[in-house]
Amino acid sequence: MVEKSSQFLTFTIADEHFGMDLHQTREIIEYAGITQVPLMPQFISGVINLRGEVVPVIDLSVRLGRKPITIHKRTCVIVIELHTSEQHCVLGLLADAVNEVIDISSSSIEDAPAFGAKIRAEFIQGIAKKDDEFIVLLDAEKTLSPRELAHLVEAELQ
């Protein structure tokens, strides 16, 4: 039986390693400043102009319940595309650094722990191990659901 593997883009936030399904990634761009939008929740850093398209940028660290990312020379924006039943959505994700694209076999992805993780369990697709490091594989559709993000923005504006 041939084992199925998937490609993941790996990146770093603080000292933690994360991965996201490569097929959702459109491009990676160097951080060049973000236009802030008033009255937005803290996890929305602002917007960027990507070849004429206005793209909201999410501080993934804040979205995952951590401190905001400190901008430095390796900070980048991962541009992703989400296709949900409701809509097609393009988002930018702020990350401290992008690492590499790796193949991970389905057998080496373990379920998210039911307790102890500092991230909501439904955000985690699984945990993979590469060398001596763990990589938290995020479920972008759940972590960045346009519907949930819209509810969070509305709640902030109340």
| pLDDT for the residue numbered 114 | 62
Give the start-to-end residue ranges of the domains of the chain: 5-157
User: Which tokens hold the place of 110?
Assistant: 């373990």
| pLDDT for the residue numbered 122 | 66
| pLDDT for the residue numbered 123 | 73
Q: In this structure, is the dihedral angle defined by the CA atoms of residues 157, 141, 18 and 51, taken in order, positive or negative?
A: negative
Q: Other CB atoms closer than 10 Å to residue 55's CB: what's the count? A: 20
* pLDDT 10s digits, 119-131: 556 678 888 988 8
**3-class secondary-structure state, position 56:** strand
Mean pLDDT of 127-137: 87
* pLDDT 10s digits, 8-37: 999 999 889 999 999 889 999 999 989 998
- CA pair distance 30, 11, nearest whole angstrom: 14
* pLDDT 10s digits, 112-121: 766 555 555 6
**Strand 5-13 relative to strand 16-21, pairing:** antiparallel
Q: Scanning the structure block, which residue is given the tokens 């991965």?
A: 19
**Residue 57 to residues 7, 16, 24, 78, 89, Cα–Cα distance (Å):** 23, 20, 15, 9, 12
The residue with greater pLDDT, 150 or 110, is 110
CATH entry 2.40.50.180 includes domain 5-157: yes
**3-class secondary-structure state, position 136:** strand
* pLDDT 10s digits, 47-91: 999 999 999 999 988 888 889 999 999 999 999 988 766 677 899
**Any residues with CB less than 8 A from the CB of 32 and at least 6 apart, and which?**
48
Tell me, what DSSP letter sits at residue 35? B
